[in-house]
C-alpha cells in the first residue's frame, strides 16, 4: 500500500506532466499564430499600397490609405520591432532633368498654416540642400537632392524658410509592414496641407528603405507639405516622390521614436498611429 508521501509524489509528477502538456500546446499555438502573422505581412507587401495624406492638401476623398500592419498588430509594440541596420542605396535618375526647370504650384483647399505659394520659375535641378529638423527629441538632418525632385525640394525649402514646419509635429509612425515617420501637417491630424499642390516627380526604378525621404500624397499629383522618413522596411510602389536622404544621427532619433511605439489610432488602415513619444519641430534650418 502506498504511503502518503508516495501518493503526494505521484500527484506531483502527474501535475508536472499536465503542465508540460499545456506548455507544449501553448507553444504550438504561438507558432501557428506567428505563421498567420507572417502570412498577413507577405500579403500586405504584395499589394499595391498607398501612403496618403487626408483631404487637407488635395481633393481626395479624405481617406488615408497605406501599406499597413496586419489588423491584429497591437498598438505600442515598438519595443519588439525589428529595425534594419543597413541603409538602402540613394535614388538616382538615369537621365538628368533640364536645368533650370519650371514648377507649377496650384492652389488647393485651405492652408493649415498661412504660407505663400512658392515661385516656380527658374528652379535649379542640380546640387543639394542641407536641412536640419530641430526637435524636442533630437536633430534630424536631411540632404535634399535637387536632381531627383527639383520642384519638391523647392517647395520644401520654401515651407521651411517660411516657418511652416516650425512648431509642428509628426502625427503618424508605422512600426510593422511600413516603417516610417510621417510629418508635415500643422493640424497634427494627417489632414492639413499648405493650400497648394504640385505634381509627382517619380520614375519607375524608385524603391524605398532605410534612410529615404519622400513625399506623402493622397493620389497622383497631390503633393503638399506632408512627408515621410523611412527608417526600415517600406514595400511601396514607385508612387511617392523621393527627394533626399536622412543622416545617420537623424535615423537614430527616429529609431528611438519607433521603439517607443504608437497609440494605434490609424489601425487597421492605413496602419500605425500617433507616436507615443511626442515629436515637435522647434526650428528648421536650411543650408544651401
Question: pLDDT tens across 98-113, in order?
Answer: 999 999 999 999 999 9
**Does pLDDT of 19 surpass 60?**
no
The total number of residues shown for the chain amounts to: 288
**Does pLDDT of 77 surpass 70?**
no
| Residue corresponding to grid cell 481633393 | 59
Question: pTM for the full model?
Answer: 0.77
How much is the pLDDT for 260?
A: 97
Mean predicted confidence (pLDDT) in 241-257: 98
Kindly report, residue by residue over 21-38, the tens digit of the pLDDT.
Answer: 655 555 444 433 433 343
Quote the CA–CA distance of 283 and 285 in Å, as a whole number. Answer: 7
Decide: 231 and 88 in contact? Cβ < 8 Å: no
Kindly report, residue by residue over 275-287, the tens digit of the pLDDT.
Answer: 999 999 999 999 9
Q: Where are the domains of the chain?
A: 1-46, 50-288
Q: pLDDT-based confidence at 14, cuts 50/70/90?
A: low
Q: pLDDT-based confidence at 265, cuts 50/70/90?
A: very high
Q: pLDDT-based confidence at 124, cuts 50/70/90?
A: very high
Q: Which CATH class is domain 50-288?
A: mainly beta
| Helix or strand holding residue 48 (H, E) | none
Quote the CA–CA distance of 42 and 178 in Å, as a whole number. Answer: 12
Mean predicted confidence (pLDDT) in 149-156: 98
Quote the CA–CA distance of 135 and 252 in Å, as a whole number. Answer: 13
How much is the pLDDT for 52?
A: 53
Quote the CA–CA distance of 240 and 217 in Å, as a whole number. Answer: 7
Amino acid at each position: 500500500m502506498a504511503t502518503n508521501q508516495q501518493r503526494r509524489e505521484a500527484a506531483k509528477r502527474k501535475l508536472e506532466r499536465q503542465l508540460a502538456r499545456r506548455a507544449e500546446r501553448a507553444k504550438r499555438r504561438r507558432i501557428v499564430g506567428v505563421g498567420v502573422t507572417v502570412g498577413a505581412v507577405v500579403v500586405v507587401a504584395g499589394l499595391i499600397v498607398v501612403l496618403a495624406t487626408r483631404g487637407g492638401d488635395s481633393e481626395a476623398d479624405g481617406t488615408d490609405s497605406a501599406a499597413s500592419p496586419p489588423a491584429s498588430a497591437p498598438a505600442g509594440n515598438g519595443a519588439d520591432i525589428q529595425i534594419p541596420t543597413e541603409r538602402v542605396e540613394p535614388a538616382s535618375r538615369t537621365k538628368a532633368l533640364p536645368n533650370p526647370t519650371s514648377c507649377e504650384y496650384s492652389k488647393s483647399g485651405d492652408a493649415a498654416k498661412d504660407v505663400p505659394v512658392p515661385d516656380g520659375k527658374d528652379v535649379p535641378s542640380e546640387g543639394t540642400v542641407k536641412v536640419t529638423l530641430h526637435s524636442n527629441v533630437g536633430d534630424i538632418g536631411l540632404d535634399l537632392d535637387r536632381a531627383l525632385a527639383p520642384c519638391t525640394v523647392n517647395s520644401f525649402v520654401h515651407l521651411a524658410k517660411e516657418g511652416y514646419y516650425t512648431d509642428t509635429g509628426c502625427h503618424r509612425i508605422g512600426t510593422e509592414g511600413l516603417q516610417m515617420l510621417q510629418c508635415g501637417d500643422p493640424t497634427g491630424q494627417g489632414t492639413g496641407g499648405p493650400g497648394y499642390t504640385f505634381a509627382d516627380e517619380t520614375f519607375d526604378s524608385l524603391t524605398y528603405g532605410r534612410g529615404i525621404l519622400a513625399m506623402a500624397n493622397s493620389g497622383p499629383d497631390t503633393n503638399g507639405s506632408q512627408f515621410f522618413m523611412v527608417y526600415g522596411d517600406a514595400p511601396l510602389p514607385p508612387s511617392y516622390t523621393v527627394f533626399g536622404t536622412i543622416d545617420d544621427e537623424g535615423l537614430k532619433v527616429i529609431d528611438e521614436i519607433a521603439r517607443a511605439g504608437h497609440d494605434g489610432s490609424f489601425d487597421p488602415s492605413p496602419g500605425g498611429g500617433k507616436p507615443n513619444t511626442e515629436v515637435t519641430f522647434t526650428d528648421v534650418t536650411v543650408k544651401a
